[in-house]
Amino acid sequence: MMVAEALAERLAELLRSDPRRVVLGEDVRDGGMLGLSRRIVADAALCDRALATPLVPASLIAHAAGLAIGGHPAIVLLHSSSALLEGMAALREAARIPWQSAGAHAMPLTIVAPTGPGFGLGSEQAAVHEAALASVPGLRVAVVSLPEQAVSMLDAAVDFTHDSEPVVLLLPRSIVLAERDEPLRHEPVTPVGVAQVVRDGSRVTVLAWGDTVLPALAAVRELGVDASVVDVRSLAPIDVDTIVNVARTSGRIVIAHSGGPRHGIGAELAALLADQVILHLDGPIVRITGAERPCAPGTESLATPSQQQIADAIERVATY
């Protein structure tokens, strides 16, 4: 089963569990570009809550925010995270409303969007916009890293029990179409804002998220080094406590992420660790990232660091 199929099933269950919940998007009545609303429109009891809108990202996001204010938790299914940049003004507005209304208006708005390379299309369809999104005040941003956690991360992204701010859930394209031999299990739900240590170790700490977590785990296995791997998962807010505690233990840090290095989440984490862990560091903080420039179709692999590049970085830091 593909991750996208598991998400489509779960989205239908989420609409069944809350009769006020709706999904929106340009093509959601046709199943959506990734097929994420396919199960919803196939169910006569749910299909009226798949709301097709014109392809107008700013208006679409604000429209969904209006639905959320009106008491209908809204899930927007976008064709690409680049649409979020086109709708940035609306995103900022939606994220501001819980604060601006002094808590009078929650914003149960979830936006699901594919990100990074994976479809082979290059250019914007391989671009990583996570840093721009994470810089929006009041917005929570999470990214799926492990295919088996995609469903539980969706559950976390639509849970507004304790937080009123909207959530962007990014789906790395290389993960969303990944085939799994077994049906995806429902993993325990970890709230947005919490990182996860997916491998324990004390010699080196690898901070990764999205489509670099699996290559990082493979690189550590291949090297046989005693390294911890942290799935950062939540890009806004960042789980400072978990990251600082793990980094302090090893004192040797590798940060791996897709997209270019400039002004990225990796730079933010490096600054955070320089600020809080400097006296525990035994070597430079090494960032290993994708290329800075856009990738042409067929060269998408440049957008993500390879397992070998991550392994080289770990070895360099481990032997510094």
Partner 1 sequence: MEASPWDPEGVEVVLGPNGTPTDEACLAGLDLKALYKHLVAARCLDLRLGKMNVPAWASSAGEEAPIVLAGVLAEPSDWIYPGWRDSPGVVAVSAFEDVATMLVQSGQRPSSALRVMLPSDTLGMHLALAAGHAHAQKLDGRRGVTIALFGEGLTTTGIFHETVATAVQCDVPLVLVCKSQLWPDAAPAEAGLLGDTVSERARACGLWSRRVDGADVIAVYMALASALERARDGRGPGLVEAVVTQLHRDVPAHRDPIERMRRLLDHKGLWTQTFQDVVEADIRARLEKAFTRAVNAHEEARA
Residue ranges that bind partner 1, judged by CB under 8 A: 20, 22, 49, 51-54, 56, 58-60, 62-72, 74, 89-90, 92-93, 96-97, 99-102, 104
Q: How far is the CB of 80 from partner 1 (least distance, A)?
A: 18
Nearer to partner 1, 136 or 153 (CB): 136
The distance of closest approach from Cβ of residue 269 to partner 1 in the complex, given in angstroms and rounded to an integer, is 30
- Judged by beta carbon, residue 51 or residue 111, the one nearer partner 1 is 51
Other beta carbons within 10 angstroms of residue 79's beta carbon come to 17
Question: Min. distance of Cβ 31 from partner 1 in angstroms?
Answer: 19
Residue 266 has, within 13 A of its CA and on its CB side, a CA count of: 25
Other beta carbons within 10 Å of 254: 31
> Taking each helix axis from N to C terminus, what angle separates 265-276 and 240-250, rounded to the nearest 10 degrees?
60
The least CB distance from residue 62 to partner 1, in Å, is: 3
Least Å distance, CB 127 to partner 1, is 22
Of 22 and 314, nearer to partner 1 (C-beta) is: 22
Rank residues 60 and 313 by Cβ distance to partner 1 and give the closer one.
60
d(CA 320, CA 315): 8
Q: How far is the CB of 107 from partner 1 (least distance, A)?
A: 11
Question: At closest approach, how far in Å is the CB of 23 from partner 1?
Answer: 13
Q: Find the shortest distance in angstroms from Cβ 68 to partner 1.
A: 8
Nearer to partner 1, 56 or 218 (CB): 56
Q: Residue 70 or 297: which CB sits closer to partner 1?
A: 70
For Cα atoms 13, 91, 158, give the angle at the middle one, nearest 5 degrees: 20
When the beta carbons of 103 and 224 are compared against partner 1, the nearer one is: 103
Identify which of residues 24 and 131 has a Cβ nearer to partner 1 in the complex.
24
| Count of residues making up the chain | 320
**Which residue is associated with the tokens 């593909």?**
2
